[in-house]
Amino acid sequence: MAIVAAGVLLFDQLTKLAVLKYLGYAQEKVIIEGFFKFVHWRNTGAAWSLFNQFAGSNQLLAIFALVALLVLFLTRHHFDSHTLLGQLSLGLIFGGIAGNLMDRFNHGHVVDFIYFYLNRRGGGEIGFPAFNVADSAICTGVGLLFLLSWQKDHAGAAPTKEPAGQN
């Protein structure tokens, strides 16, 4: 779990460092025209810039992230942390939370830079909100926890039998 978390944190911070160094704020670098580009956006809100418009949201979300890390760490045994999938999922979540938390402390915002979009016929574009490696790790880790929970629920279920005499 710790190795995964450290790897996510390192990769997240290195990618954000590259964005800060090579891409000015609000600049973009198209990778696949009409589909994918790197951007440099600041996010003081939560996922997909929720609560971005509220004063003090960065500080409040930093406190929330610290509490979330503590609660997850103290309750990790409830998440099958003894299994490989449990270790992986928690490592992804811990590393992702820590990566965005470092941004909030170091920059006063989270650096988002991965942007998928489609060009509209009449001009302009429609896109998924920009995100970063930490966001991806958190979402993947949560998804793996759901998968783990689903597997656990179905592993204990007894196979259903048809009543005798019905074929």
**What averages of pLDDT result for each successive group of 10 residues across the chain (167 residues)?**
97 98 97 98 76 72 93 88 90 97 95 97 93 97 92 64 59
**Identity of the residue numbered 106:** N
With respect to residue 48, please indicate whether it lies within any of the assigned structural domains: yes
Whats the size of the chain, residue-wise?
Answer: 167
Residue 42 located in a structural domain: yes
Range of the domain at 57: 2-152
153 in active site: no
Task: Tell me if 105 is assigned to some domain.
Answer: yes
Instruction: Please report the pLDDT score of residue 77 as a whole number.
Output: 86
Spatial CB neighbours of 29, under 8 Å, sequence gap ≥ 6: 23, 37, 38, 39
In a domain, residue 136? The reply is yes
Q: What domain count does the chain have?
A: 1
Predicted pLDDT of residue 150: 85
**pTM for the predicted model, two decimal places:** 0.84
* Strand-pair category, 36-43 with 110-119: antiparallel
Catalytic residue among 12, 80, 103, 112: 112
Rounded (5°) CA angle 42-44-49: 85
Contact call for residues 92 and 141 (beta carbons, < 8 A): yes
Q: For residues 71 and 64, what is the distance between their CA atoms, to the nearest angstrom?
A: 10
Q: Which of 12, 80, 103, 135 is catalytic?
A: 135
In a domain, 83, yes or no: yes
112 is catalytic: yes
Would you say residue 160 lies in a domain?
no
- Is 164 among the domain residues? no
Is 5 exposed, middle or buried (CB count within 10 Å of its CB: 0-12, 13-18, 19+)?
buried
Which residue is listed with tokens 């995100």? Answer: 131
